[in-house]
Amino acid sequence: MEFTPVKVTERVYWVGAVDWNIRDFHGYSTERGSTYNAYLILGDKIALIDTVKAPFCEELLARIAAVINPEKIDYIISNHAEMDHSGALPKVIAAVKPEKVFASVMGVKALNEHFHLDYEIVPLRDGDTLSLGNLSLKFLETRMLHWPDSMVTYLVEERLLFSQDGFGMHLATGERFADELDPVLLRNQAAKYYANIILPYSQLILKLIERIKTLGIAIDIIAPDHGPIWRSDVGKILSWYQEWAEQKPRQKAVVVYDTMWQSTDLMARAIADGLAGEGIEVKVMRLRATDRSDVMTEVLDAGAIIIGSPTLNNGIFPTVADMLVYLKGLKPKNKFGAAFGSYGWSGEAPGIIFNELKGMGMETIGEPLKVKYVPDGDGLKKCCELAKEISRRLKKGGE
């Protein structure tokens, strides 16, 4: 089997795998596939940073074999235990027979609980260093970015940060470097990744960026575990992360809803029209036509999220329930919420949504707006009035 490695620097090679066909990454729609990045460091001692998802083990070993005999690897460093990066680890250990395998303290536990290895993994603590002879590695714990075990590895002499999930994106491409790709595509995919994976840990991102500055860690290259490697444009991804982590809302509203007989749909369009008329940027997303993860990408920089549902069996529509559960888990900050929907006789849905938004700690606007059956002129006027109220609140900002 032959697969080609990619030289990142004279002493670092990308040896990961490209998953062109994955379309669902534990509930996140990966319409452009993903990559599982692993890196080979050629010091006096040879180190492998992370592995790949289990089905791609042969691809990883073939890329390594194109650089060196895999049995020459001395150390394997597992920055993150989630199985998209550790799934191949047991097979790689068996094939390589490394001198040592390292992970964070929590990583040692997690790897043992995943794989029940008959192999001792050496724990690394925050701030530890490891010599490769002519090169040196420094480790920083990044708990909850993305799991409790997560850490990043800094290759001092190359000023290269192996950042595991952080600064990554789900994007399968033939190119390995961000500067070879369309910047709009990069920003969209990085934003989607941030909104769906990193968002709840935004405070930790701000602390990590601050810590990197305080420690005086100069970074020329960021090599994440998903998507392209950042080299000439490290500042770009760092500034995007700073922006998203701060969660400053824009004058933008996302209208998310589902509909049974197009009445809630009509309300959604009327609210959106009212917002657009007030100069507010608006996105309208019907849930059976839009994946929840794409909704989150739009929610990331929005100031308002307006959720609509018809009343079904005295409750909310199932797709709306799914969206609310997903939204709650991702803990967005600095947004206003509103609720609307058409109903036939009981009409509980808008009130349920309203309370769910409040339960997330979100400031709500107006009252739950409900219209019986098909909205008439009066119903549509109420949609327009709600839009005006939302618009006023958005323009007022976070006061």
Q: Which stretch binds ligand FEO (CB under 6 A): 77-85, 95-103, 302-310, 390-398?
A: 77-85
Shortest distance, CB of residue 350 to ligand FEO, whole angstroms?
A: 36
Q: What is the closest distance, in whole angstroms, from the C-beta atom of residue 149 to ligand FEO in the complex?
A: 9
**Sequence letter at residue 156:** V
- CA dist 368 and 1 (Å) reads 60
Starting at the edge strand found earlier in the chain, the sheet holding 75-78 runs 6-9, 12-14, 39-42, 46-49, 75-78, 100-104, 122-124
226 lies in the site for ligand FEO, by CB under 6 A: yes
Rule CB under 6 A: is residue 192 a binding residue for ligand FEO?
A: no
Under the criterion CB under 6 A, does residue 146 sit at the interface with ligand FEO? yes
Nearer to ligand FEO, 146 or 292 (CB): 146
| Between 147 and 177, CB nearer to ligand FEO | 147
The β-bridge partners of 256 are 285, 307
Cβ distance to ligand FEO smaller for residue 78 or 309: 78
Tell me the catalytic residues.
Answer: 26, 80, 82, 84, 146, 165, 193, 226
The 8-class DSSP code of residue 133 comes to S
Smallest separation, CB 112 to ligand FEO (Å): 18
- Cβ within 8 Å of residue 281, ≥6 positions away: 250, 251, 252, 253
Give the DSSP H/E element, type plus range, for residue 264. Answer: helix 263-277
DSSP secondary structure of 360-398: TTPEE-S--EEEESS--HHHHHHHHHHHHHHHHHHHH--
Min separation Cβ 298 and ligand FEO, Å: 23
Question: What's the min distance (Å) between Cβ of 133 and ligand FEO?
Answer: 30
Q: In terms of CB distance, is 225 or 291 closer to ligand FEO?
A: 225
Closer residue to ligand FEO, CB minimum distance, 145 or 295: 145
Select the span of 79-87, 239-247, 334-342, 381-389 touching ligand FEO (CB under 6 A): 79-87
Nearer to ligand FEO, 147 or 240 (CB): 147
* Tokens encoding 94: 């068996």
Q: Which of 19, 82, 141, 356 binds ligand FEO (CB under 6 A)?
A: 82
Stretch that binds ligand FEO, among 9-17, 80-88, 175-183, 326-334 (CB under 6 A): 80-88
d(CA 308, CA 255): 8
Spatial contact of 322 and 293, defined as CB atoms under 8 Å apart: no
By CB under 6 A, residue 141 contacts ligand FEO = no
Contacting residue, 59, 141, 165, 356, with ligand FEO by CB under 6 A: 165
- Is the Cβ–Cβ distance between 385 and 242 less than 8 Å? no
Helix (H, G, I), strand (E, B) or coil at 92: helix
Does the protein bind ligand FEO through residue 80 (CB under 6 A)? yes
Q: Which of residues 95-134 bind ligand FEO (CB under 6 A)?
A: none
Q: By Cβ distance, which residue is nearest to ligand FEO?
A: 82
- Binding of ligand FEO at residue 32 (CB under 6 A)? no
Q: Residue 313, by phi and psi: left (phi above 0), alpha (psi -120 to 50) or beta?
A: left
* Contacts for 26-30: CB closer than 8 Å, 24+ residues apart: 27/292, 27/293, 27/326, 28/170, 28/192, 28/196, 28/197, 28/293, 29/291, 29/293, 29/294, 30/170
84 binding ligand FEO? (CB under 6 A): yes
**Residue 1, class by beta-carbon neighbours within 10 Å (0-12 exposed, 13-18 middle, 19+ buried)?**
exposed
Q: Which stretch binds ligand FEO (CB under 6 A): 82-90, 246-254, 286-294, 359-367?
A: 82-90
- The CA radius of gyration of the chain, in Å to the nearest whole number, is 24
**Could you say whether residue 291 binds ligand FEO (CB under 6 A)?**
no
Binding site for ligand FEO (CB under 6 A): 80, 82, 84-85, 146-147, 165, 225-226
